[in-house]
Chain A
């Protein structure tokens, strides 16, 4: 038993995580639904009454309860992992990544999931914090609906079904991600 816990508590390699994600996709299909997390942004907008001011949110969100329950499960999963399976968060990042980030003012890269210099409530009082957290969140919410899906809906479900549209979306994800990481983050994070 202790041995099992020890294995669960060490970082999980990619060849465990990938197959689990594929299994989750399969289970959702088997239950008669599909794997796509960003639909919940639309669902929550609808639950909050968005349908009154905008047709796009005027639908019966009750049919999407399964997805919202799934979403709540992900929060619970994060909490359980944090409380019981995380002796510490530190990651084995590549040395290049750590050196680069140190130059951008992010010390101790990989000790926590998010750079602790930026992701705090206090940093919401700074321009840098507002851009990264508020604008970043906005772009994710806007872009995912415009593209009709996020990493789960397009990169996993869509590519698995060999959908050309999803390939275009994933290429878009990478164009955006590469522009941000190579050209914008260096100046943004050293603000």
Chain B
């Protein structure tokens, strides 16, 4: 039962990304072609609200549901890791037209061929794990 709330949240997220067409290959293409405001509006409004929410949590020392402090961990600074990793991710995102969340939501929408992309993504993550010590971080 303690996991039920996560199932509900995931369901809300899946419905929203489907109904707002975020899972569409075409919306990602349009975004990278600057031909529509739609995706920028979604990400932009989520980030603006997210900044406000994060600031409120930090300034009021808001506690989590279990009463523990809500902790934000600072990401270790580096340029190479985030830039190279980000570029590789971006190439895949635009090519397949989906990032990890939407891939799974597309499966729910009946696009079973995306299971192949997910399997390939798992392999990509595994290969990263195997060769990470050789990459600039």
Contacts and interface: CB of A to CB of B under 8 A. Distances in A.
B95 A50 contact: no
Contacts of A159: 47, 50-51
Contacts of A30: 62, 64-65, 70
Interface in B85-137: 85-101, 103-114, 116-130, 132, 135
Interface string A63-91: 00111011111111111111001100001
B60 interface: no
Q: Interface majority SS on B: helix, strand, loop or mixed?
A: helix
Interface in A37-77: 37-38, 40-42, 44-45, 48, 50, 53-57, 65-67, 69-77
A37 B95 contact: no
Contacts, number: 482
A101 interface: yes
B82 A172 contact: yes
A28 B114 contact: no
B106 A114 contact: yes
Interface centre among A29, A77, A136, by most chain B C-beta atoms within 10 angstroms, is A77
B109 A78 contact: yes
B88 A142 contact: yes
Contacts of B111: 113-114, 119
Contacts of A72: 7, 10
A191 interface: no
Nearest to B107: A75
A54 B131 CA distance: 10
A69 B7 contact: yes
Contact of A81 (B14, B81, B127): B14
Given A24-B13, A175-B90, A188-B95, A57 B126 contact: yes
A26 B12 CA distance: 13
A77 B92 contact: no
A64 B122 CA distance: 16
Given A65-B3, A139-B91, A146-B135, A50 B126 contact: yes
A165 B75 contact: yes
Interface string A161-191: 1111110111111111111111011001000
Nearest to A134: B120
Nearest to B129: A56
Given A82-B109, A146-B84, A155-B47, 15 more contacts: A18-B43, A41-B122, A57-B129, A72-B10, A78-B104, A139-B88, A139-B91, A142-B92, A142-B124, A143-B87, A144-B100, A159-B47, A159-B50, A160-B47, A160-B54
Interface of B: 3, 5-33, 35-47, 49-51, 53-54, 57, 62, 64-66, 68, 70, 72, 74-79, 81-101, 103-114, 116-130, 132, 135
